[in-house]
Structure 1
């Protein structure tokens, strides 16, 4: 599954999430201007086949409600955490993330 990480997350997560997805990309590697708007990130993910967008920005929930998926959204509601902690949290929820990717009915996974 192709996963795009929002700019509010560390680019270092790409390597740390290799067990979750070998096609993980940070938004700074997309060629979009920095900072990119949420809509530009959303459109880029959709055009480039990224099934899941991971962020802690609630605006992506609103884009999902407005446009529907894909991309599906993983919304991190964990507060400020280190890159290691975020990676651990995401890997701990691997089965839920796989379920999200495979679901025809669910487009949002909130992780607390």
Structure 2
């Protein structure tokens, strides 16, 4: 599963999670820093990424349009990168099974 990390998340996360989620990228990696959500959504759909974000706008978009792409919505407040890493790695199996089911949204808290 390839994850596309939204701008509101650390750009270092894809590199730090390369073993768990190879080929994942941050929006900065593909030159989309500051781009509108709909452009990021289309990029993810066209390139087989799952969007991972703390942004409720992506949640609303996923409810409205379904998938692809799928969305992993991180429902946690402000926190440091280490806490995000722990949350994502703790739910690695759940994330992997999410990629194979029919759900559009996975909420992690």
Q: Same fold (TM over 0.5)?
A: yes
Does 2:41 match 1:46? no
Structure 1 range deviating more: 63-72 or 87-96? 63-72
For 2:17, the equivalent position in structure 1 comes to 17
Unaligned runs of 5+ in 1: none
What is the alpha-carbon distance in structure 1 between the residues aligned to residue 16 and residue 69 of structure 2? Answer: 21
Match of 2:103?
106
Q: Give the match for residue 77 of structure 2.
A: 79
Q: In the TM superposition, what is the alpha-carbon distance from 1:19 to its structure 2 partner?
A: 2.7
What TM-score comes out, normalization by structure 1 length?
A: 0.91
Q: SS of the counterpart of 1:79? A: coil
Aligned twin of 1:68: 66
After TM superposition, the structure 1 = structure 2 runs for residues 81-100 of structure 1, keeping only pairs within 5 Å, are: 81-100=79-98
CA distance in 1, matches of 2:20, 2:57: 24
Deviation per CA, 1:44-98: give whole Å up to 9, x if none: 1111121x11000011111112221111111001111111110111000001101
Runs of 4+ in 1 over 2 A off after TM superposition: none
What is the rounded CA distance, in whole Å, between the counterparts of 1:20 and 1:6 in structure 2?
Answer: 18
**What are the Cα deviations for residues 10-67 of structure 1, in whole angstroms up to 9, with x where unaligned?**
01101221232111100011123x31111111011111121x1100001111111222
